[in-house]
Amino acid sequence: MKPTLRLPASLDLSRFPHPPLSTVRQWVTDVLTGASEECVDDAVLLVNELVSNVYDHATPPCRVRVSELPEQRGVRVEVDDSEADLLPVMGTSRLGKYRGRGLLLVERVAERWGISRRTWGKTVWAELPYRIGIPLQVAHQ
């Protein structure tokens, strides 16, 4: 029997004035139960970084989504914020010289990543392969 993921999934963080990172990490882990440990760990790392960026550099509200890529080849994580014109820049931060490396991490870990501008804000997304030999059974919600 194939493992089952609960995708697509969405988490609204608009009620949190500060980033609930432990809640977000646990949610991603739960949603991706059945995926490879490497895929889960990478997704948790990426979502943690992207949510942190919203709270550090943009304006919440924030929404996190996890969905399956076509042909069951992996997952896509997305984080929304309401700042359409405030685009992230790799390797820079207004918060000090020891900050600003998060998107470099995203660049290294993700198979692909990007930014989609919306009328209400933007979505920063990243894609990861499942990294296992068999496709997973997804319980669509």
CATH of the domain at 70: 3.30.565.10
Confidence (pLDDT) at 19: 79
Structural domain containing residue 33: 4-138
Residue 82, both tokens: 């309401």
41: left (phi over 0), alpha (psi -120 to 50) or beta: alpha
Confidence (pLDDT) at 94: 56
Cβ pair 79, 43 in contact under 8 A: no
Number of domains in the chain: 1
Q: Annotate 99-109 with b (16+ C-beta within 10 A) or e (fewer).
A: ebebbeebeeb
Segments of the chain scoring below 50 in pLDDT: 1-2, 133-136, 139-141
